[in-house]
Amino acid sequence: MIFKIKTMTFKYLLLFALSFVLFSSYAQEQDINYLAPENRSGQLFFKLSSEYRITPLPTTSPSSQFVFVNTDLQNSGVALAFSLDMFITKNLSLGFSNSFRYDYLGGSEGFENDGQSRPANRGLIIGYHFYLDYHFKIFKKSELYVRVGRSLLNRGTEIKSQKTFFNPSGEVIGTVRNSGDYAYEPWNWGIGWKKRKVEIMLAFYTSGNTEYFSEQQNYIIPYFKFSYNLGRL
């Protein structure tokens, strides 16, 4: 009797597992069908992305009116993001992306009252990205797209610095306090390759006006981006 009950339970579990697999496959197939150019107009898709920002250009030390910051460390590295893409037509989509990095804010500049250098500060750096993508059906099973947009980078980089000066006898003769916010709004340019739910893109953030320099200077951050479309909303 116990053996029969276990056998029946196993059959139900197996049936449930098979049904779940078939349903998941069907849902995925439906999403893939909606990703086809002729079906995606008017559809809203949700994506997860991983972005790797390469060393910015120029790499020379900046002259900022605020606290010293290593621009390479603050603007390079890995970012994780989620995106929403609405297809206005079968080829044109309007998108929004929210990126997150736990990375370098600034530091190792300025001294405490004991004359010791402060360690670098780290924290959550947030970015907001608005863009348009236009898709070209060049290949049989994949396509290319170009991107143009505007980003709000380095939200959360507000930092403060303090430097104390001493005379030869060790007495404090003055203190300089600075604060800085390295948020800026670069353009976002890119070209990507897309096949079903997978996307790979090479792109650039470009800006001629940042807080890193006392005078206007072009600042470029090249990056690679990998995205996976989780489905429709």
pTM of model > 0.95: no
pLDDT, position 80: 95
pLDDT, position 117: 45
Can you list the positions of beta strands (E) in 156-218? 159-166, 172-180, 187-195, 198-207
pLDDT, position 68: 63
pLDDT, position 172: 66
pLDDT, position 5: 41
- 229 token code pair: 């479309």
pLDDT, position 166: 65
pLDDT, position 181: 76
Instruction: Identify the segments of the chain with pLDDT beneath 50.
Output: 1-10, 12, 20-27, 109-117
Query: Which residues are within 8 A (CB) of 36 and not within 5 positions of it... i.e. 6 or more apart?
Result: none
Instruction: Report the helix count and the strand count for the chain, using DSSP H and E.
Output: 2, 10
pLDDT, position 72: 85
Q: What gap in Å lies between CA 188 and CA 14, rounded to an integer?
A: 49
